[in-house]
């Protein structure tokens, strides 16, 4: 028997009386027979959202466009506002009277408003707004757990911004807002758990909410909980069913795009594959690069689109992803020289395709600067680098990401053979450009501007992982020392805990300086040895979020261009037992009794095996998710209290 569903299209009078309406127009027959006045039918309207600062002059309806009164067009129409000091906290268009006492969920309006006008715009590509803003916000009107998830993300975003300020009142408000966000988050977890348990296949609505929950944990810096949500979402995304007469294909691209971002972030933080990931074979023999269609998408007219294209670039090929984002893959020479050259050519073609926009961003390499870039002049380049002028924060991220790709690909290429060291020098040029754009972005972030990104609210690939990975491609100690200093100054950026990154690189710096002096490459240890002789450093956090380890491998014997069987030996293992303080690590020295250091050896280490056992859960488990949330947040709250 088919279940009858209540219709909400009857006349206003019949809906008030809770009787069935025959929906005759202009007046229904039921009201006429009852001899009462028919109040007519409500007009269906849909709110059309716009980014902050853009004027709103119309309200779009299903049956046409209605213009606002003339008195509201110029100055009285409501616009989202930010704080006077530039902190991107979205305020209500009209503040409540100070004598009004808010009810228990009044602050949810602030969280919802934050998500609508700020959080969604920095997390999702414009081409995905139809899902992350239109569809989800419409569903939140009648589905409470969707509303709770949106409010929790917006509120956690507000808490993160408030906690980033040094003022005592802001810090207290931030902790209070975070507690409220966590309470709302738990309600959303309970709601989505019921939804998933009731249906055989999850709806796009449930999958979208799971992604929102992963971002909530990213804002908290909770590594295990964010990874858990990402893995569960990956599992459910393959079995989504259609919902509310919307085809599933309508939601695939927004979901896949956000999952790619989250998976990349998780892979950098936890630098080894999950047992749930597909066991892809290397395609190093293929010389062609299969790029996503969006990589040469028409209408790439903004920095946000270019950022999305660059992030999707590394998802096109497994070898490319490993060479650029894995800390050790390039040293084992698993990708051929011709394949890396094909990657570089594809990247150059993309830049040529977007040359007009790159010129607007002032992204063209200065030929005069490149000609002056030499090994003799490396020590003369200023540190900190001179910032670029008239460049926005988003433009800096585009240019830094492009420079980072070039540097990492050229670095991998020189490891395969570079007799005249020209490729190595080209890599250093792009590393320095990355440092300049990072310096520019940090300068912009320190100004009071609601239009620029603040580091703590960036949950996608930002400057932190770029600096951390580029630190391995520095020509000398001063460059790496400056990167360590900047990582310590930036502070947390989503799941990227920069103090731990800086601590890992700091020990790497000591090892490289010592090696340089031992090999008499440089008397002061300032200029590092050839890239093929560098030390590999792998940072791995523990599941508890409190401790972490770093493994350091040195080259075993010599390396040549034709030697594809490069071998490394374990040099040091550093243990940080408590990330809540700045304690020195305990270091195990393996120089006297070396053992092989390889990706397979790494997968056998206790901290990695603990992660692999933990990762075997594929389906949503409410109790497990809450345990991850509590475990990952406990030490973060301790850090906040000590601060």
Distance CA 453, CA 63 (A): 38
Confidence of residue 226 (pLDDT cuts 50, 70, 90): very high
Q: Which two tokens stand for residue 434?
A: 């990355």
pLDDT at 407 exceeding the cut of 90 = yes
Mean pLDDT, range 525-546, rounded to an integer? 85
What sign results for the dihedral spanned by CA atoms 387, 390, 393, 395? Answer: negative
| pLDDT of amino acid 409 | 95
| pLDDT of amino acid 72 | 38
Distance CA 85, CA 634 (A): 31
pLDDT at 166 exceeding the cut of 90 = no
CA angle 384–524–583, rounded 5-degree value: 65
Percent of the chain residues topping a pLDDT of 70: 77
Among the residue ranges 453-462, 551-560, 619-628, the one predicted with the least confidence is 551-560
Return the number of other C-beta atoms located less than 10 Å from residue 360's C-beta: 12
Distance CA 254, CA 266 (A): 19
pLDDT at 595 exceeding the cut of 80 = yes
Confidence of residue 60 (pLDDT cuts 50, 70, 90): very low
pTM over 0.85: no
327-351 pLDDT, tens per residue?
A: 998 898 888 888 899 889 888 888 8
Alpha helices per DSSP H over 316-421: 318-325, 337-353, 355-360, 367-372, 393-415
Distance CA 566, CA 599 (A): 12
Domain ranges of the chain: 84-94+102-266, 288-482
Inter-residue long-range contacts of 552-559, CB under 8 Å, 24+ positions, other chains counted: 552/507, 552/508, 552/511, 553/328, 553/597, 554/511, 554/515, 554/597, 556/594, 556/596, 559/532, 559/533
Burial track 221-259 (b if 16+ CB lie within 10 A, e otherwise): bbbbbbbbbbbbbbbbbeebeebeeeeeeebeebbebbb
Q: Are 452 and 392 in contact (CB under 8 A)?
A: yes
Distance CA 186, CA 145 (A): 10
Percent of the chain residues topping a pLDDT of 90: 29
| Residues with Cβ within 8 Å of residue 91, at least 6 apart in sequence | 80, 81, 82, 83, 110, 113
> To the nearest whole number, what is the mean pLDDT of the chain?
79
Higher pLDDT, 428 or 445: 428
């Amino acid at each position: 028997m088919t279940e009858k569903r209540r219709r909400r299209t009857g006349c206003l009078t019949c809906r008030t009386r809770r009787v069935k309406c025959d929906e005759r127009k202009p007046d229904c027959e039921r009201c006429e027979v009852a001899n009462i006045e028919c109040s007519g039918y409500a007009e269906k309207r849909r709110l059309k959202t716009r980014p902050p600062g853009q004027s709103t002059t119309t309200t779009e309806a299903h049956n046409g466009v209605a213009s606002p009164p003339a008195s509201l067009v110029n100055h009285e129409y409501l616009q989202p506002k930010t704080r006077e000091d530039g902190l991107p906290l979205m305020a209500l268009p009209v503040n409540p009277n100070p004598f009004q006492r808010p009810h228990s969920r009044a602050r949810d309006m602030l969280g919802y408003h934050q998500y609508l006008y700020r959080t969604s715009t920095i997390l999702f590509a414009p081409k995905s707004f139809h899902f992350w803003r239109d569809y989800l916000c419409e569903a939140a009107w009648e589905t409470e757990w969707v509303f709770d998830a949106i409010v929790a993300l917006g509120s956690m975003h507000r808490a993160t911004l408030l906690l980033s300020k040094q003022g005592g009142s802001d810090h207290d408000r931030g902790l209070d807002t975070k507690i409220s966000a966590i309470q709302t988050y738990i309600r959303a977890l309970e709601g989505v758990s019921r939804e998933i348990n009731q249906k055989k296949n999850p709806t796009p609505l449930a999958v979208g909410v799971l992604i929102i929950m992963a971002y909530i944990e990213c804002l908290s810096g909770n590594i295990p909980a964010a990874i858990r949500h990402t893995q569960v979402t990956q599992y459910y995304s393959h079995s989504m069913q259609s919902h509310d007469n919307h085809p599933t294909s309508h939601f695939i691209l927004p979901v896949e795009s956000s999952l790619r971002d989250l998976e990349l972030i998780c892979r950098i933080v936890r630098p080894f594959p999950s047992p749930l990931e597909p066991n892809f074979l290397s395609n190093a023999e293929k010389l062609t690069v299969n790029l996503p269609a969006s990589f040469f998408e028409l209408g790439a007219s903004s920095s946000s689109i270019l950022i999305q294209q660059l992030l999707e670039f590394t998802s096109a090929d497994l070898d490319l992803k490993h060479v650029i984002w894995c800390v050790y893959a390039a040293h084992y020479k698993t990708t051929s020289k011709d394949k890396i050259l094909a990657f570089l050519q594809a990247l150059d073609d993309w830049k040529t395709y977007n040359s007009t926009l790159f010129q607007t961003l002032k992204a063209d390499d200065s030929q005069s600067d490149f000609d002056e870039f030499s090994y003799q002049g490396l020590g003369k380049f200023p540190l900190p680098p001179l910032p670029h002028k008239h460049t926005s924060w988003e433009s800096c991220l585009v240019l830094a990401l492009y420079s980072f790709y070039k540097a990492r690909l050229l670095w991998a290429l020189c490891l395969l053979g570079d007799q005249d060291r020209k490729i190595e020098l080209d890599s250093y040029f792009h590393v320095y450009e990355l440092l300049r754009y990072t310096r520019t972005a940090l300068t912009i972030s320190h100004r009071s501007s609601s239009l620029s990104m603040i580091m703590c609210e960036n949950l996608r690939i930002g400057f932190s992982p770029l600096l951390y990975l580029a630190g391995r491609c520095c020509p000398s100690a001063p460059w790496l020392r400056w990167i360590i200093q900047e990582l310590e100054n930036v502070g947390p950026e989503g799941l990227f805990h920069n103090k731990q990154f800086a601590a890992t690189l700091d020990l790497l710096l000591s090892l490289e300086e010592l090696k340089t002096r031992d090999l008499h490459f440089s008397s002061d240890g300032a200029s590092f040895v050839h890239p093929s002789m560098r030390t590999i450093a792998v940072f791995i956090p523990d599941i508890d979020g409190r401790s972490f380890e770093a493994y350091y491998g040195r080259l075993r014997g010599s390396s040549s261009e034709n030697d594809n069987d490069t071998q490394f030996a374990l040099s040091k293992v550093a243990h940080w037992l408590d990330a809540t303080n700045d304690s020195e690590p305990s270091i195990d020295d393996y120089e006297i009794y070396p053992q092989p250091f390889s990706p397979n050896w790494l997968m056998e280490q206790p901290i990695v095996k603990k992660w692999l056992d933990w990762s075997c859960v594929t389906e949503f488990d409410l109790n497990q998710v809450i345990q991850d949330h509590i475990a990952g947040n406990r030490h973060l709250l301790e850090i906040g209290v000590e601060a």
